[in-house]
Amino acid sequence: MNPTQVEWKYFFSDGAAPDPAYVNIRDLEWFNSSIREEVERMWQEYSEFCPDNDFLSQARVDFNSMGWQMQLTVLLKKMGFNLQKCETEGPDICFLRSGIRHWVEAVSANKGDGDDAVPIYHDKFAHPVPEDQIILRLRSVIEDKFKKYQGWIKKNIIDSSEPFIIAINAGKLILADLSPEVSFAEKAVFPIGKMGWSVEVGTGKASEVIHTFRDRIIKRSDAEVKTDLFMTAHYGGISGIMFSPHHFSNSYNRNGADFTFIHNPNSNVQVPRELFQFGRERWVECGELRGKDWPPFVQPKISEQKEES
């Protein structure tokens, strides 16, 4: 075991830290004590599965990214998944199902740089949702993780016959939760455009919500970025996308109610429907995107848990 993991018993540690969310939750006793206590409890559950020797030091730099990885692992443990500890090189999370390893790589999307970066608003005025920029950031992290997946296959760290899921948190992207009908993650992998309404001629009455067709976004540089990844065979190694639009500090206690799992209909290694029974599940059936909202998951009290014989 890495000595650092033995010495660092607690998630939070004293001293200056680059990430203001980490500092605020650690230091603002009157405001964030309940969050801090829950994060420490989660760390106690997660530490035995943590593959990263520098996890706690990285949490001081990127609290949301490390928190997302920890949150998802602990939720899967709550749900009864047979978790396995991963090696340092490779995906962040592994669980066994029917003797087959299932891999999950967690990532937190950043706002990016340059002309297509997701803006940061410091005033109190209303602003349009930067939909294209958000989708471009999600599309970018999917591409990055898919390339890592291909590298892990070549190194025999994982096998192409094993399911591979990319878990994306968009909590650092402003207004990333303002696409309720179809999440921005779905718009990054399916040719789904902006929302509108069909209007009856003569009455002007809106009859139904519709989405335009969009299979690409044009960047400021005029470069095309395809947004129909799950409609092609090239990305067949990805079994699905797990998505949360909220920052870890606003989602830590929801038990996955704000997560969306998106099945890849063209995956070489499908995961079964209803594998993840929390949040929202999305899949393609008869050429249509369909979904199911799972009821909130409540962990049973000890007195309600059945004893195993």
Report the alpha-carbon distance of residue 238 to residue 164 in Å, rounded: 5
Q: Which of 64, 58, 51, 141 is closest to 94 using CA atoms?
A: 51
Angle at 184 between CA 178 and CA 189, to 5 degrees: 170
- At 29 the pLDDT is 80
**pLDDT for 8:** 58
Question: Within 13 Å, how many C-alpha atoms sit on residue 283's CB side?
Answer: 16
pLDDT higher than 50, residue 302? no
Over residues 294-304, the mean pLDDT reads 64
Residue carrying structure tokens 């002309």: 115
Which is more confident, 297 or 84? Answer: 84
Q: Greater confidence, 34 or 275? A: 275
CA 299 – CA 241 distance, rounded (Å): 24
What's the DSSP call for residue 206?
E
- Token pair of 159, please? 């096998």
Place 120 in a pLDDT band, splitting at 50, 70 and 90: confident
Q: pLDDT band at residue 205, thresholds of 50, 70 and 90?
A: confident
Tokens of residue 105, six digits:
């790589």
44 vs 102: CA distance, rounded Å = 23
131: its two tokens: 């939909």
pLDDT at 1 over 50: no
pLDDT 10s digits, 250-268: 999 899 999 999 999 999 9
pLDDT digit string, tens, across residues 168-180: 999 999 899 988 7
Question: What pLDDT was estimated at residue 179?
Answer: 81
pLDDT band of residue 181 (cuts 50, 70, 90) is confident
Name which residue leads in pLDDT, 296 or 84. 84
Q: pLDDT band for 305, please (50, 70, 90 cuts).
A: very low
pLDDT at 123: 78
Helix (H) or strand (E) holding 94: strand 93-97
pLDDT at 198 (0 to 100): 67
Angle at 33 between CA 29 and CA 36, to 5 degrees: 120
DSSP code for 185: H
- C-beta separation of 25 from 59 below 8 A: no
Name the strand (E) or helix (H) holding 292.
Answer: strand 288-293
Q: What mean pLDDT is reported for the chain? A: 90
User: Is 0.95 topped by the overall pTM?
Assistant: no
Instruction: In whole angstroms, give the CA distance from residue 252 to residue 21.
Output: 13
More reliable by pLDDT, 223 or 196: 223
DSSP result, 113-158: SSTTSPP---SSS-----HHHHHHHHHHHHHHHHHHHHHHHHTTSS
The structural domains of the chain, with segments of one domain joined by +, span: 3-302
Q: What is the pLDDT of residue 197?
A: 64
- % of the chain at pLDDT higher than 90: 78
- Given this model, what pLDDT does residue 23 score? 95
Question: Nearest-CA neighbor of 191 among 225, 226, 222?
Answer: 226
pLDDT score at 204: 66
Of 114-123, 199-208, 272-281, where does mean pLDDT reach its minimum? 199-208
